[in-house]
Amino acid sequence: MKRLLEQFPIVVNIPVAWGEMDAFQHVNNAVFFKYFESARVAYFEKLAFAEHFEQSGIGPILASTQCRFMMPLTYPDTVSVGARMDSVAEDRFTMCFRVVSQRHRRIAAEGEGLIVVFDYRENRKAPVPDDLRNRIIGLERSVKPSAGVIPT
């Protein structure tokens, strides 16, 4: 299972809750976006994005997200959710997510999120701060030393 998440610098483990299942007896599709959010927040915590936001008013805002479902999840299970950066542009970045069922040792879903860097004080987009860009590159190189974040 480690192989399924080896290119993701951030992995969080989340127990599947019985209440996340819907009338069709599998985890409801909306829950997968909560899983993505948990991994995204863990990634941002590793970057100290909250501290940057407190000092500058510049932080992330989710512009769009999508998910490809590959297998249904059911209770009981635990999912491992990986987050990695796919690309970094001037004022935005794209994150990739992977949800892996520990019970089945298979990928349950994959998705992406487009995050825009936003100046909450000025109420407008902002460029990705250089120190944040450098922390992203360092974090990504921790799992892919020869790769790096692809600028777009």
Q: Please name the amino acid found at residue 99.
A: V
Q: What is the pLDDT of residue 148?
A: 54
pLDDT digits (tens, 9 = 90+) for 32-73: 999 999 999 999 999 999 998 999 999 999 999 999 999 999
Count how many domains the chain has: 1
CATH code for position 81: 3.10.129.10
Q: Whole domain around residue 20: which residue ranges? A: 2-151
Q: What is the pLDDT of residue 93?
A: 97
Residue numbers in the chain where pLDDT is lower than 70: 146-152
- Burial of residue 95 (CB within 10 Å: 0-12, 13-18, 19+) is buried
